[in-house]
């Protein structure tokens, strides 16, 4: 447990003890006369004038209330600091993660495009091998190249998965911001965290169920449907 957490626990324990003392003094005060918690106006008059009650009791009550106020103020300040650190750390990590995901998508897309272009050129070269008598080898090479093209579907799958993950991170960030505003009571300072650039991602473009498993069977089905 960190020093900050121990400090907050100590404050909470002290505040609980102080509030119990306040409750005890108020109970003693109300038991001495006609003062009732259900009659706040009369209770206020007694606290101001001390009418019919021992000064010591009133002094104890005021001292206990003042202590409780100080301790609660310390707890609120501690919550301010914790909330600020939590929000800043969460936002920085989410921004960095989102940026890395976009980098991965861009890099894999570029690599896959270059590989596909190269395979297209290789297929064109295969078509020019008309003088070769080894038709079996030619057909095998063609099948291998088509197989590589099918394998390169990973780029589309990866992009969809990363796009979905990026959308989830953005949603988490928005939820964290809303949660942090719950603690944004009077006096809580704003944390200097700039909101991230919003990247619009179409929902239909990101399939969270996208997978590279059994890609060959799905591609065969697609070829059967779209091949005239």
| pLDDT tens digits, one per residue of 44-64 | 555 555 555 445 555 666 666
Query: What confidence category does residue 198 fall into, taking pLDDT thresholds of 50, 70 and 90?
Result: very low
Which has the higher per-residue pLDDT, 9 or 105?
105
pLDDT of residue 186: 41
Query: What confidence category does residue 218 fall into, taking pLDDT thresholds of 50, 70 and 90?
Result: low
Query: What confidence category does residue 163 fall into, taking pLDDT thresholds of 50, 70 and 90?
Result: confident
Contact status, residue 173 vs residue 167, Cβ threshold 8 Å = no
Torsion, Cα 102 106 107 113, to 10 degrees, reads: 160
Tens digit of each residue's pLDDT (9 = 90 or more) over 69-105: 677 777 777 767 777 777 777 777 777 777 777 777 7
Query: What confidence category does residue 23 fall into, taking pLDDT thresholds of 50, 70 and 90?
Result: low
| Burial (CB count within 10 angstroms: exposed 0-12, middle 13-18, buried 19+), residue 83 | buried
The answer on pLDDT for 175 being more than 70 is: yes
199: CB partners within 8 A, 6+ apart: 98, 102, 166, 170
User: In 10 A of CB 103, how many CB atoms?
Assistant: 11
d(CA 37, CA 22): 13
Q: Which of 117-121, 160-164, 199-203 has the lowest mean pLDDT?
A: 199-203
Most confident of 5-9, 18-22, 130-134, 216-220: 18-22
Closest by Cα among 104, 210, 194 to 156: 210
- The 10 Å CB-count burial string (b at 16+, else e) for 14-27 is bbeebbebbeebbe
Closest by Cα among 11, 200, 171 to 179: 171
| Burial (CB count within 10 angstroms: exposed 0-12, middle 13-18, buried 19+), residue 159 | buried
d(CA 163, CA 201): 7
Percent of residues, the chain, with pLDDT higher than 90: 0
pLDDT of residue 164: 76
Q: Which of 3-17, 97-111, 139-153 has the lowest mean pLDDT?
A: 3-17
Contact status, residue 163 vs residue 201, Cβ threshold 8 Å = yes
The reply to whether the predicted model has a pTM over 0.85 is no
Q: What is the mean pLDDT of the chain?
A: 64
pLDDT of residue 187: 44
């Amino acid at each position: 447990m960190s020093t900050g957490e121990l400090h907050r626990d100590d404050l909470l324990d002290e505040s609980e003890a102080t509030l119990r003392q306040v409750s005890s003094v108020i109970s003693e005060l109300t038991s001495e006369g006609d003062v009732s918690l259900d009659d706040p106006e009369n209770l206020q008059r007694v606290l101001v004038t001390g009418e019919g009650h021992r000064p010591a009791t009133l002094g104890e009550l005021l001292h206990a209330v003042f202590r409780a106020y100080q301790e609660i103020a310390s707890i609120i300040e501690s919550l301010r600091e914790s909330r600020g650190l939590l929000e800043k750390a969460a936002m920085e990590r989410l921004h960095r993660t989102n940026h890395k995901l976009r980098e991965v998508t861009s890099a894999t897309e570029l690599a896959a495009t270059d590989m596909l272009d190269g395979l297209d050129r290789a297929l064109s070269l295969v078509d020019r091998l008309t003088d070769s008598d080894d038709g079996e080898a030619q057909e095998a090479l063609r099948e291998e190249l088509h197989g590589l093209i099918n394998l390169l579907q990973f780029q589309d799958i990866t992009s969809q998965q990363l796009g979905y993950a990026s959308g989830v991170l953005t949603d988490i960030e928005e939820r964290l911001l809303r949660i942090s505003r719950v603690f944004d009571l009077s006096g809580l300072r704003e944390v200097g965290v700039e909101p991230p650039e919003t990247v619009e991602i179409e929902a239909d473009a990101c399939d969270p169920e996208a997978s590279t498993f059994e890609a060959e069977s799905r591609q065969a089905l697609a070829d059967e449907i779209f091949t005239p």
